[in-house]
Structure 1
Amino acid sequence: MANLRLFATHPHDCSYLPDRIATTVFVDPQAHIDQDVYSRLSEIGFRRSGQHLYKPQCKACRQCIPARIPVHQFQPNRQQRRCLKRNADLTVDTVDSIDSEEYFELYEKYINARHQDGDMYPPSRKQYDSFLTSEWGVTRFITFRLNDKLVSVAVIDVLDNGLSAVYTFYDPDYPKRSFGTFAILCQIEQAKALDLDSVYLGYWIRECIKMNYKTRFQPLELYIEGTWAPEDPQ
């Protein structure tokens, strides 16, 4: 860890908050990364995108706060129990690869429907492969099927101390299914089954409406000033 080199991007427009300037630090792409190093970096707030490990480090803003669910303390609320019931007819499996057109077509449909204003639009196979690629032997894919039809995929990384929820994409034709919520609930159960402590949800931003769903998973821990502490739901 002490020998890892970090690089910083040039200041750029923030992707989440208007009128904010962001800077991101990332680990040297040439560095040797394994499960242990990745796990320790996750403990101090780093995230993975493709082969890059990064975290925000902005001069005038500290709104991006790492968040994780302590899975052994988690109890689903009423809405989450309803979500579990609605999706009880899905077939859930874990696979080692999503390198096929079936998976890419679902990803393409999801990005076109939900993220035309984002950096991943328009979707391409090259971008798909680089963004969701399996890294360092720790990446797995939870697949969800309805009557054999692929309807959702959750990309997870298995760490020493938890699961990292990297990304979820799904068929937008089933809005009442709440596939995003269901995917997190499944990851919580999978972490428990593996006797892991946490599900890492990435960054939570209080002022960003798109991030509100993360606070629905209670208790939630936030990494603030070098310490993981319970989030105050009030």
Structure 2
Amino acid sequence: MSAPVKFPRFFVTNPGPCPYLPGKTERKVFTELNGPHADELNDALGRIGFRRSQNVAYRPSCIDCKACVSVRVLTEEFEPNATQRKILRRNADLTVNACRPWSTSEQYDLLRRYLQQRHPHGGMTDMDDMDYADMVEQSPVKSHIVEYREPGRFGQPGKLVGACLTDQQGDGLSMIYSFYDADIEGRTGLGNFIILDHIIRARKAGLPFVYLGYWVEGSPRMNYKTRYRPLERLGPDGWKRFTGE
């Protein structure tokens, strides 16, 4: 009798420079997502701290560091604070649509502007339109692009100001990668709004979690993730409430 799901094979990358903590090296363990049970495998791996990139699920497996910690928002208990309520009001006029995972030139142009504004020396700056298409379209699991647009005029869609590649897992939404226009006058907090919108969307869909990826203690780039409470972090004993400052 054969097993209904083939047990995945896992591999480990060679060590390389850590993009978050100077002087540290990173290493990842990964496996391929494919076949008719890719969604189930992605769900199971997501609950133990894996993230998806195209058809690969990975998680840190560094030899001398455990700073990368998976975090997720508890959607039912989340209550926006005063700053977050202000961000929601400021961007309430945006039109939000969950689209099939198909790349467009408009999305790619927005991504290029975002990388130039926020991550000019990051590892994604060399991404061309075909690389972006692969990131969005090479998904073996249920995913979509959530687009954020300014109000349209004369029956035409408004300007695209934000987008997020999102996986829908069995217990929540996993935000794979979000990007937005950071230089729009009078419309600050777009990145925060995209996270808040995902929390609201997950709650309405009856999904208990929004997965935010990895929080890295000591990395200022990751501090924003701790603003969304209650938050759970994955440790040796499973998911526990985040109580740090």
TM-score normalised by the chain length of structure 2:
0.90
Cross-structure match for 1:162: 172
* Pairing of 1:41-120 with structure 2 (within 5 A): 41-120=45-124
Cross-structure match for 1:127: 131
> Contact 1:111–1:122 (CA<8 Å) still a contact in 2?
no
1:166 deviates by 0.6
> Contact 2:69–2:214 (CA<8 Å) still a contact in 1?
yes
> Does 1:193 pair with 2:214?
no
Change (3 A) 1:137 1:212: same
Change (3 A) 1:104 1:114: same
CA offset digits 1:159-193 (Å, max 9, x no partner): 00100011111112227421111001110111111
> Does 1:219 pair with 2:230?
yes
Secondary structure (helix, strand or coil) at the match of 1:195 reads coil
Kindly provide the amino acid, as one letter, of the partner of residue 150 in structure 1.
Answer: L
Q: Report the identity percentage.
A: 34
- Where in structure 2 are there 5+ consecutive unaligned residues? 152-157
Which range is displaced more, 94-103 or 9-18? 94-103
- Where in structure 1 are there 5+ consecutive unaligned residues? none
Kindly provide the amino acid, as one letter, of the partner of residue 217 in structure 2.
Answer: R
Which range is displaced more, 76-85 or 92-101? 92-101
> Contact 1:112–1:122 (CA<8 Å) still a contact in 2?
no
1:49 deviates by 1.5
Cross-structure match for 1:11: 15
> Contact 1:4–1:31 (CA<8 Å) still a contact in 2?
no
Between the aligned partners of 1:109 and 1:192, the Cα distance in structure 2 is: 31
Structure label with greater radius of gyration:
2
Cross-structure match for 1:174: 184
Kindly provide the amino acid, as one letter, of the partner of residue 175 in structure 2.
Answer: A
Report the number of matched residues. 234
Kindly provide the amino acid, as one letter, of the partner of residue 18 in structure 1.
Answer: P
CA offset digits 1:53-109 (Å, max 9, x no partner): 100001100000000001001110111001001101111111113422111111111
Secondary structure (helix, strand or coil) at the match of 2:120 reads coil
Secondary structure (helix, strand or coil) at the match of 2:92 reads coil
> Contact 2:103–2:136 (CA<8 Å) still a contact in 1?
no
Which range is displaced more, 101-110 or 214-223? 101-110
TM-score normalised by the chain length of structure 1:
0.94
1:196 deviates by 0.7
Between the aligned partners of 2:34 and 2:99, the Cα distance in structure 1 is: 28
Between the aligned partners of 2:168 and 2:149, the Cα distance in structure 1 is: 22
Between the aligned partners of 2:19 and 2:237, the Cα distance in structure 1 is: 24
RMSD (CA atoms): 1.7
Change (3 A) 1:144 1:30: closer
Cross-structure match for 2:155: none
Change (3 A) 1:15 1:213: same
Which range is displaced more, 26-35 or 152-161? 26-35
CA offset digits 1:88-136 (Å, max 9, x no partner): 1111111113422111111111112222211101331122112233512
Change (3 A) 1:224 1:83: same
Between the aligned partners of 1:71 and 1:30, the Cα distance in structure 2 is: 29
